A and B are shown apart, each in its own frame.
Chain A
């Protein structure tokens, strides 16, 4: 007895074992078809009685296990059905011979046998034989089931006769000693006459009868017999058989208590046809353990079982708690014998199944723990796998999912143990997949995007690594890419730097052969592996756009008249929900993109990896409008900080567009990342309205570009700004070239100007232009250039310079409201009070850096093409930065008494700071010509 049957359960004790085997060459498919049909006849109500006979079919049974048949009769092969393929009558004798050979193998225990011959027709087939059935083909064998039923009835007759025989002959002659194979030599030369020996024989025989009763469907009788046997064997310390008797007692009680069965799979079948009352399920009977042995019942019970059934049932059946105690006891007896390892193991398995039904997991785990340590002889690899899988299954049944996963994983590893010549990677992979729930791991990355990772990362990572490896060895690179990407995506936080490097390295290796895709991978087992987008490589963190600007936009755009620069900000507002709500509305309503224009989305990304990350093919994902995304490639330095990335695309039609994600290709894996699924990002895409095409203008000017950018105080986007330096009073022409770089003709243009820096008093018109000249060139075809001239004229008031006034005060002149400097503005006649004047020539050289700046914005509002028809305009602003320097300085002021006392001469030292000649004109039209750098009085 060496091969344990891990599938055994307690109810198997009441079954008759029938082996179904092919003889000669029988196609496997056909054999199993027949085998299936045969197995469907698994319980028979024996005629003339209420007893039910259960049959257990096996297509393979090691003959050495058969030798233990006396020990526990359900191990005994009592029936043999052979199936054979025989095409011609010539082969028939040979086939029949084979059948007999087959019978020999189990010969010692067989009650009966049958041969099913398929394919043979003709006279041979016509011979009526009881043990042979002929069928023309595998398809025409309707009577198979009927035959089996007949066969089972014949088995029952033998069984019943044996039972009666054994049950009654106790009074008569010497009882033979039943023994298990390894015991045989122990009894050589033993005194067969001793009382001890006799008792032992009796006990064993009683137990055997119990087994037979159980098989024959007489549960109560078997209980009585088992109890007697236990008593007898206990007194002679025959531990092995005592264990068996106890186990028999347990089995019978289990069958009584749990008619639903403990095996799990067969439960449904057994529940239907069971003759036991349903209310017996789980009926607890405290005190039932007290043993009642009714010697009178033993002999008479054989046939009229029902009379004393009620009494016997109540008293002889073990309570559920006692079942476990007795199992424990039996197992401890078995464990005394090294050769009974298999029996012990099977008893453990059976006990666990019972406990699983009783939902007593803790005790079940103890039994299992024990089973783990039962040392059988050297197991083959296949047996090891089987053993681990069954342990895993049992652990799962008692609700120990982690333990179950652990053993399943061990079994998986066993499949590919180095000692196996042909590693079963496929089986290994399959088993590994089954362990996933035990490690609370699902292969759907969505489950991980919600909140932080919860799970036992170390073991999960290990498992994923194994999955990757197994799938690679299976020759399915797509699968390993998927698993590896999953590993990288979900376990990123737990990988060390070195591991990150290793994982990405191998990922790149795999993807060079098989790029990662966004398709579902369907496994043969029906499991679907969802795609794994790399939402963390790089990590996207959205640009923060200050809220005031947004509000400005809102106001501006409510007018609905003009449109915006085509920049579009995604806003992440950290923890503030209310703000993100505002932004959501903002996106939905107040943004518009123009069809055919390049539109941008700005993202902030960062690379969490300790090495440079190459992101290729990064583009936008959108729905709604046909959108041509222009992919970008970027390379992020190791552990970069936030790194701005602008993704661009061109909407091709008009309507609502929703930007709901982006796609990337990292390490050769393509990923589509939907914003919805990104952790930490609240917006679920942004909706933008795309309006019909508009022309676009590009501005170039005659003036140099300014480094100085204007503060866009009102949210206007200043596309360019220019700067110019002028002397006060100077006029300059600014030629603006308007180039239509769009695809639509420019039809309309409006220009407005706004002076930004209004602190200075400005005289006259600062900016002036004639629009008509430009408009005459319209409509401007794409690519054409129109010019637009703006006159810049600066007239500023440079008066009231502090230091000059200071000078005047020093001179003792009270100057009130004296507008000094500012040439071109005529010096008004000063009213100076007559006072003695002491001209002091303490002229300080004036500070020449009295530069004032003027800033203005030129707004171009233009439109054309289909967009114009819908009333959309585009706005373009030109910033103008003018630095104004005064052209003359009065370096010194003094008064001279004039001829009349009521008048005085005002002497002004005028300094020309320009490089040009200039004329100072006073009221009387006396012109004073000042040359560059000259100082005159």
Chain B
């Protein structure tokens, strides 16, 4: 159902990005890259006081003609961005939320790997499989 899932580091460079129509990967790179503007804006709008107990889920970042872009940010400022086909109306906010939570858990597992250097690109097979499952789930 998700067409593209990206993990973006604190310094706004991609740790992981994968999209289903692989032939037009760059387009998704652009989509996700520009969505960071909205993420930044949302974060700065929230203000500092709320940072601690804030909601990690950022909601819909912006819709495009064909896709909807959702965002999520962990407390360590690692961002997850998910691009969803906008024709898929069955997908509710709650489902997106749970998908992000799953992604977060899986990311935590990656971070727990003692051989993983924070800041490196993610090359974990388990994470890969999880992303694949999330992309496949419905469609």
A positions within 8 Å CB-CB of B: 361-362, 365, 369, 373, 395, 399-403, 406, 439-440, 452-459, 462
B29 surroundings in chain A (CB, below 8 A):
456, 458-459, 462
A298 to chain B, nearest CB (A): 42
Kindly list the 10 A-B residue pairs having the minimum CB-CB distance in the complex, ordered from nearest: A400-B37, A458-B29, A403-B34, A402-B34, A454-B11, A361-B41, A402-B37, A403-B37, A406-B34, A455-B13
Which of B11, B33, B38 has the largest number of chain A CB atoms within 10 A? B33
Which positions 1-55 of chain B face chain A at CB distance < 8 Å?
9, 11-14, 17, 25-26, 29-30, 33-34, 36-38, 40-42, 45
B11 surroundings in chain A (CB, below 8 A):
454
Whether B62 sits at the interface, judged by CB under 8 Å, is yes
B41 surroundings in chain A (CB, below 8 A):
361-362, 365, 399-400
In the bound assembly, the distance between CA atoms of A457 and B88 in angstroms comes to 30
B37 surroundings in chain A (CB, below 8 A):
365, 395, 399-403
A453 surroundings in chain B (CB, below 8 A):
13
A362-B38, A399-B41, A456-B14 known; A462 and B26 CB under 8 Å?
yes
In the bound assembly, the distance between CA atoms of A458 and B13 in angstroms comes to 10
A817 to chain B, nearest CB (A): 67
B9 surroundings in chain A (CB, below 8 A):
454
A-B contacts, 28 listed (Cβ < 8 Å) = A361-B41, A362-B38, A362-B41, A362-B45, A365-B37, A365-B41, A369-B63, A399-B40, A400-B38, A400-B41, A402-B33, A402-B34, A402-B37, A403-B37, A406-B30, A406-B33, A439-B33, A454-B12, A455-B13, A456-B12, A458-B17, A458-B25, A458-B26, A458-B29, A459-B29, A459-B33, A462-B26, A462-B29
B38 to chain A, nearest CB (A): 7
Which of A362, A369, A373, A456 has the largest number of chain B CB atoms within 10 A? A456
Which of A362, A401, A454, A458 has the largest number of chain B CB atoms within 10 A? A458
A361 surroundings in chain B (CB, below 8 A):
41, 45
A913 to chain B, nearest CB (A): 64
Interface residues on B, range: 20 to 34
In the bound assembly, the distance between CA atoms of A453 and B40 in angstroms comes to 21
B41 to chain A, nearest CB (A): 5
A400 surroundings in chain B (CB, below 8 A):
34, 37-38, 41
B103 to chain A, nearest CB (A): 20
In the bound assembly, the distance between CA atoms of A395 and B65 in angstroms comes to 18
In the bound complex, do residue B13 and residue A454 qualify as a contact, i.e. CB atoms below 8 Å apart? Answer: yes
In the bound complex, do residue A456 and residue B62 qualify as a contact, i.e. CB atoms below 8 Å apart? Answer: no
B120 — nearest CB in chain A belongs to which residue? A452
B123 to chain A, nearest CB (A): 14
In the bound assembly, the distance between CA atoms of A457 and B26 in angstroms comes to 11
In the bound assembly, the distance between CA atoms of A834 and B81 in angstroms comes to 105
In the bound complex, do residue A365 and residue B38 qualify as a contact, i.e. CB atoms below 8 Å apart? Answer: yes
In the bound complex, do residue B38 and residue A440 qualify as a contact, i.e. CB atoms below 8 Å apart? Answer: no
In the bound assembly, the distance between CA atoms of A373 and B30 in angstroms comes to 18
B30 surroundings in chain A (CB, below 8 A):
406, 459
A439 surroundings in chain B (CB, below 8 A):
33
B5 to chain A, nearest CB (A): 15
B10 — nearest CB in chain A belongs to which residue? A454
A362 — nearest CB in chain B belongs to which residue? B41
A469 to chain B, nearest CB (A): 15
Which of B26, B29, B34 has the largest number of chain A CB atoms within 10 A? B34
Q: B55-84: contact bitstring with A at CB < 8 Å (1 yes, 0 no)?
A: 000000011010000000000000000000
Which of B13, B14, B37 has the largest number of chain A CB atoms within 10 A? B37
In the bound complex, do residue B45 and residue A402 qualify as a contact, i.e. CB atoms below 8 Å apart? Answer: no
A440 surroundings in chain B (CB, below 8 A):
12
A440 — nearest CB in chain B belongs to which residue? B12
B67 to chain A, nearest CB (A): 13
In the bound complex, do residue B62 and residue A369 qualify as a contact, i.e. CB atoms below 8 Å apart? Answer: yes
Other A-B contacts than A365-B38, A365-B62, A454-B12, 15 sampled, CB-CB below 8 A, are: A362-B41, A362-B42, A362-B45, A365-B41, A373-B65, A400-B41, A406-B30, A439-B33, A452-B119, A456-B12, A458-B14, A458-B17, A458-B29, A459-B30, A462-B26
B133 to chain A, nearest CB (A): 24
B63 surroundings in chain A (CB, below 8 A):
369
In the bound complex, do residue A456 and residue B26 qualify as a contact, i.e. CB atoms below 8 Å apart? Answer: no
In the bound complex, do residue A456 and residue B33 qualify as a contact, i.e. CB atoms below 8 Å apart? Answer: yes
In the bound assembly, the distance between CA atoms of A369 and B64 in angstroms comes to 8
In the bound assembly, the distance between CA atoms of A453 and B119 in angstroms comes to 10
A410 — nearest CB in chain B belongs to which residue? B30
- Within 8 Å by CB of B13, from A369, A401, A456, A462, lies A456
In the bound assembly, the distance between CA atoms of A373 and B36 in angstroms comes to 21
In the bound assembly, the distance between CA atoms of A402 and B79 in angstroms comes to 16
B127 to chain A, nearest CB (A): 19
A462 — nearest CB in chain B belongs to which residue? B26
B37 — nearest CB in chain A belongs to which residue? A400
In the bound assembly, the distance between CA atoms of A373 and B63 in angstroms comes to 12
In the bound assembly, the distance between CA atoms of A454 and B120 in angstroms comes to 10
B12 surroundings in chain A (CB, below 8 A):
440, 454-456
A395 — nearest CB in chain B belongs to which residue? B37
In the bound assembly, the distance between CA atoms of A373 and B62 in angstroms comes to 14
A455 surroundings in chain B (CB, below 8 A):
12-13
A286 to chain B, nearest CB (A): 21
A454 surroundings in chain B (CB, below 8 A):
9, 11-13
In the bound complex, do residue A457 and residue B13 qualify as a contact, i.e. CB atoms below 8 Å apart? Answer: yes
B26 surroundings in chain A (CB, below 8 A):
458-459, 462
B17 — nearest CB in chain A belongs to which residue? A458
B31 — nearest CB in chain A belongs to which residue? A406
B34 to chain A, nearest CB (A): 5
B117 to chain A, nearest CB (A): 10
In the bound assembly, the distance between CA atoms of A452 and B29 in angstroms comes to 20
In the bound assembly, the distance between CA atoms of A400 and B41 in angstroms comes to 8
A398 to chain B, nearest CB (A): 8
Which of B11, B30, B36, B62 has the largest number of chain A CB atoms within 10 A? B30
In the bound assembly, the distance between CA atoms of A461 and B132 in angstroms comes to 26
B13 surroundings in chain A (CB, below 8 A):
453-457
In the bound assembly, the distance between CA atoms of A401 and B38 in angstroms comes to 10
In the bound assembly, the distance between CA atoms of A459 and B119 in angstroms comes to 19
A456 surroundings in chain B (CB, below 8 A):
12-14, 29, 33
A374 to chain B, nearest CB (A): 13
B83 to chain A, nearest CB (A): 15
A439 — nearest CB in chain B belongs to which residue? B33
In the bound assembly, the distance between CA atoms of A635 and B50 in angstroms comes to 59
B17 surroundings in chain A (CB, below 8 A):
458
B40 — nearest CB in chain A belongs to which residue? A399
In the bound assembly, the distance between CA atoms of A369 and B41 in angstroms comes to 15
B11 to chain A, nearest CB (A): 5
B65 — nearest CB in chain A belongs to which residue? A373
In the bound assembly, the distance between CA atoms of A403 and B45 in angstroms comes to 18
In the bound assembly, the distance between CA atoms of A462 and B45 in angstroms comes to 31
B25 surroundings in chain A (CB, below 8 A):
458
In the bound assembly, the distance between CA atoms of A395 and B41 in angstroms comes to 12
A519 to chain B, nearest CB (A): 31
